[in-house]
Amino acid sequence: MKWIIEIFAALGGYFKFNSIIDKGVVVYFEGTQDVPHLLPVVNCLKQSNQKVTVVASEELSEIDHLFIGSGFFRILFFQLLDCEIILMTMPDLERLHIKRSKNSVKYAYVFHSLSSSHTIYHEEAFDAYDIIFAAGKHHVTEIEKREKLKNLKSKIIIEGGYPRIDSIISSMPETLPAPNTITIAPTWGSGSLLEHEKNMDILKALIDTGYHICLRIHPMTKRHHPQLIEDLKKRFGTKKTFNIVENMSDKNSLYESFMMVSDWSGAAFDFSLTQKRPVLFINTPQKINNPNFQKIELPAAEDEIRNHLGRVIELEDLRNIKSIVNDFQSNKEQWKQRIDQLGNEFVFNLGCSAEKIANEIMRLK
């Protein structure tokens, strides 16, 4: 019954969108995960009295929008789209079932990760876009290199920044508690420390440090490995210093943590660059979705930056975790200064990226 209701809701949203004469800037949200990346830009556009039409494939509580679902009416929406410009953070345009419109529309992309464009994304992920808002200089270099290598049409590449970090900074409470917690925030899939065969060894080594441990489970891990969550609760549920956070909107543990433990997750960069605190990276196998990434002949930014934001530890050296944790705790101020300097070097327009992107969209439309 629910799917019937969604079909009629998507039908209504689709026809309502097409009844709007002046659509202004169209912004597409694939789901709630897009909110911290796109909502700040939408707000800046509206503050500048720019007409904005928001379309979404999930119901969003944060903003008024037109719901088109993720099925037939979404495909139809994109094929017949008629507007000046659309802003998205969805890669793989033209690669799968979502195609460019038959009409003359400018497609603009905002990154939802600071990771390199040629490693965690598919090879053709950004080829069909007209405008790319690069989060950092590595994105500029990588995309220009691919265009030259494949003789692609040049895109408009703009030093945009990373609105998600702005969102985190703006939502931080004025008074933060004294950090005494270690947050674990793994990615999902092959590179996840939580899905690795040594997952229990990693968690035990962290619990044995004596600090409070907060495990944030990626929604995709929860979806694909529900039994793993039960196994964790059975193994460590009685530990008073260990708890599991399944609600990703709960940021309290991040504010209360003096460090993070991660793998290849972009959450590590978000945490470190906003909280100015170090990360211990468990060196699991790197998450690569582009089998031809080496042809670009550029290093992965997420690989290079890890040693600047904290320390990298091999899976066979888990016995050294406690000493690294103690070092992070003892040298909090030194790490803060180091990471603070790095943020402005790695990310464009730190703290004002949404305003920059909004201004450029209005200039280009």
Specify whether 252 is located in the same domain as 129.
Answer: no
Specify whether 115 is located in the same domain as 195.
Answer: no
Specify whether 131 is located in the same domain as 200.
Answer: no
CA dihedral of 67, 71, 73, 79, whole degrees rounded to 10? 120
Q: In this structure, is residue 168 part of a structural domain?
A: no
Specify whether 186 is located in the same domain as 326.
Answer: yes
Q: What is the pLDDT of residue 177?
A: 65
Specify whether 216 is located in the same domain as 356.
Answer: no
pLDDT tens string 214-243: 999 988 898 889 899 899 999 998 888 999
pLDDT tens string 32-48: 889 999 999 999 999 99
Specify whether 182 is located in the same domain as 281.
Answer: yes
Residue 157: pLDDT over 70: yes
Q: In this structure, is residue 237 part of a structural domain?
A: yes
pTM of the model as a whole? 0.89
Specify whether 53 is located in the same domain as 129.
Answer: yes
Residue 163: pLDDT over 80: yes
**Which of 263, 340, 335 is CA-nearest to residue 306?**
263
Specify whether 96 is located in the same domain as 226.
Answer: no
Q: What is the pLDDT of residue 257?
A: 93
Q: In this structure, is residue 47 part of a structural domain?
A: yes
Residues in CB range of 166: below 8 A, 6 or more apart: 40, 350, 351, 352, 353, 354
Specify whether 286 is located in the same domain as 178.
Answer: yes
Q: In this structure, is residue 277 part of a structural domain?
A: yes
Specify whether 208 is located in the same domain as 324.
Answer: yes
pLDDT tens string 70-112: 999 999 999 999 999 999 999 999 998 999 999 999 999 999 9
Query: pLDDT band for position 175 (50/70/90)?
Result: low
* Host domain of residue 289: 173-346
Give residue for tokens 């969604």: 6
Residue 171: pLDDT over 90: no
Helix intervals (H) in the chain: 2-19, 35-47, 72-79, 137-150, 163-171, 199-207, 219-224, 226-236, 252-255, 266-275, 301-309, 321-330, 332-346, 353-364
Specify whether 313 is located in the same domain as 280.
Answer: yes
Yes or no: say if 120 and 265 are a contact pair by the CB < 8 Å rule: no
Specify whether 148 is located in the same domain as 225.
Answer: no
Yes or no: say if 365 and 106 are a contact pair by the CB < 8 Å rule: yes
- Domain with residue 68: its CATH number is 3.40.50.2000
**Burial class of residue 64 (count of CB atoms within 10 Å of its CB; 0-12, 13-18, 19+):** exposed
Helix (H) or strand (E) holding 213: strand 212-216
Q: In this structure, is residue 167 part of a structural domain?
A: no
Q: In this structure, is residue 136 part of a structural domain?
A: yes
Residues in CB range of 239: below 8 A, 6 or more apart: 207, 213
Structural domain total, the chain: 2
Q: What is the pLDDT of residue 223?
A: 85
**Which of 50, 68, 51, 48 is CA-nearest to residue 59?**
68
